[in-house]
Amino acid sequence: MTKPITIQDVKVITTQPAGSRLVIVKVITSEPGLYGLGCATFTQRWNAVVAALEKHLIPFALGRDVARIEEFWQMAMVHSYWRNGPVLNNAISGIDQALWDIKGKLANMPVYDLLGGKSREAAAVYTHADGRSPEEVTDNVKRFMEEGYRFIRIQMGGYGGRAQTMVKPEGAPDGAYYDPREYCRRMLKMMEHVRGEVGEEIELLHDIHERLQPIDAVRFAKDVEPINLFFLEDALAPEDIAWFRDMRAQCATRLAMGELFNSPHEWKLLIEEHLTDFLRMHVSQMGGITPARATALWANVYGVKTAWHGPGDTSPVGHAANLHLDLWAPNFGIQEWCRFPEHVYEMFPGLPEVRNGYLYPNDKPGLGIDIDEDLAAKYPCEDTIERWTQTRWPDGSPARP
């Protein structure tokens, strides 16, 4: 009987090359020179993920057979008894993705082939166009169109916008203020302007970022219906997902939801009742490739498509994992893309590239991506107190970010 290849060591690599703090897991095996990479990035609580890995998950993983990915994931998920939280899910994901990378290298196959093979040659992506005015947003949309993008998310003034008129109480605390009612009025006018300028051929998207009260979100989804968005993202918070029933009954606006989800209980209702059109989960936050593959297959039965979370706080390794899922999944919809700067490509050799609006793999075994650890070390993570998540309504009340 052939002696199994086991997990000999696990390194946790942290780096901040482009704004977001990234956590990369490197699983080193008993086979000389064989290792795998995975994404464990929870950028707002990166130290907690590092601690979870170093104090809990790595001791649990050492000595285990690298071939038994499913068994490792199932046992790691219940090993702490309490489960389905963003810190532990990301820690599990780092090792899970690295094991898929290793399995692909051992088989001399890309991960998408291990999953079942390609359903497409490349993944269509969308990028983000922001601006301070409808005209500036339109100009940025047209610039991306010239680069070959056909799916473009449009925002104005960031998430929730920046209110033009706001009267705060005396002594109001500092924070990222926004006015949800003004946001609805201004964003609707912005989207109408952009659609009028770029026509019907370009697919437009918009992200509410869960910042509205449920009844206002329902109204907003109705108001934007004539604009024919490719999808309206995160119209509701996870706590309010039952309101999707009301939204579905009121309009035919295409919906996407999921980047804050941790547990199958959060996406189960949306899939089984056809209450969303696209699943937006952050693959490392849901636990890695293993649960993402299972969820995609389940969603396919109900006609729900994938649109995995892919901003700058998904690491390049995480983007590579997203792409392998995208190329395989029969129900792939669209992939978010954050446009990394050039030095990140140098730091992560094999990082997928976009050409004419499509994200292409490099067809190397495993996830097809590596990391220059010396270069990563030149960009250490910095601890900061996030301001954008300290959101407030006009009277100073704390609000969802």
Q: What is the mean pLDDT of residues 314-337?
A: 98
pLDDT at 163: 66
Domain ranges within the chain, ordered by starting residue: 113-364
What radius of gyration, in Å, describes the C-alpha atoms of the chain? 21
Cα–Cα distance, 194 to 52 (Å, whole number): 45
Q: What is the mean pLDDT of residues 344-373?
A: 97
Cα–Cα distance, 79 to 135 (Å, whole number): 53
pLDDT at 165: 74
- In this predicted structure, the answer to whether residue 366 has a pLDDT above a threshold of 80 is yes
pLDDT tier, 68 (very low <50, low <70, confident <90, very high otherwise): very high
- In this predicted structure, the answer to whether residue 195 has a pLDDT above a threshold of 90 is yes
- In this predicted structure, the answer to whether residue 168 has a pLDDT above a threshold of 90 is no
Task: Specify whether the CB–CB gap between 235 and 243 falls below 8 A.
Answer: no
Cα–Cα distance, 126 to 280 (Å, whole number): 13
- In this predicted structure, the answer to whether residue 236 has a pLDDT above a threshold of 70 is yes
Only one residue has tokens 């489960």, namely 83
- In this predicted structure, the answer to whether residue 201 has a pLDDT above a threshold of 70 is yes
pLDDT tier, 308 (very low <50, low <70, confident <90, very high otherwise): very high
pLDDT at 111: 98
pLDDT at 387: 87
Q: What is the mean pLDDT of residues 302-315?
A: 97
Q: What is the mean pLDDT of residues 155-172?
A: 83
Q: What is the mean pLDDT of residues 157-174?
A: 82
pLDDT at 368: 98
- In this predicted structure, the answer to whether residue 300 has a pLDDT above a threshold of 80 is yes
pLDDT tier, 247 (very low <50, low <70, confident <90, very high otherwise): very high
With b meaning 16 or more CB within 10 Å and e meaning fewer, what string describes 368-379?
A: bbbbeeeebeeb
Cβ neighbours of residue 139 closer than 8 Å, sequence gap 6 or more: 131
Task: Specify whether the CB–CB gap between 34 and 7 falls below 8 A.
Answer: no
Strand partners, 110: 366
Share in percent of the chain as helix, strand, coil (round to 5) = 40, 20, 40
387 vs 335 pLDDT, higher one: 335
Give residue-wise pLDDT tens across range 110-147.
999 999 999 999 999 999 999 999 999 999 999 999 99
Look over the chain and give the mean of its residue pLDDT values, rounded to a whole number.
96
Which residues are part of the catalytic machinery? 159, 209
Give residue-wise pLDDT tens across range 326-358.
999 999 999 999 999 999 999 999 999 999 999
**CATH 3.30.70.20: does it fit domain 113-364?**
no
- In this predicted structure, the answer to whether residue 162 has a pLDDT above a threshold of 80 is no
176 vs 285 pLDDT, higher one: 285
Task: Specify whether the CB–CB gap between 330 and 120 falls below 8 A.
Answer: no
pLDDT at 164: 66
pLDDT at 2: 85
Q: How many CA atoms lie within 13 A of 385 on its CB side?
A: 5
Percent of the chain with pLDDT strictly greater than 90:
90
Q: What is the mean pLDDT of residues 211-231?
A: 97
Percent of the chain with pLDDT strictly greater than 70:
100
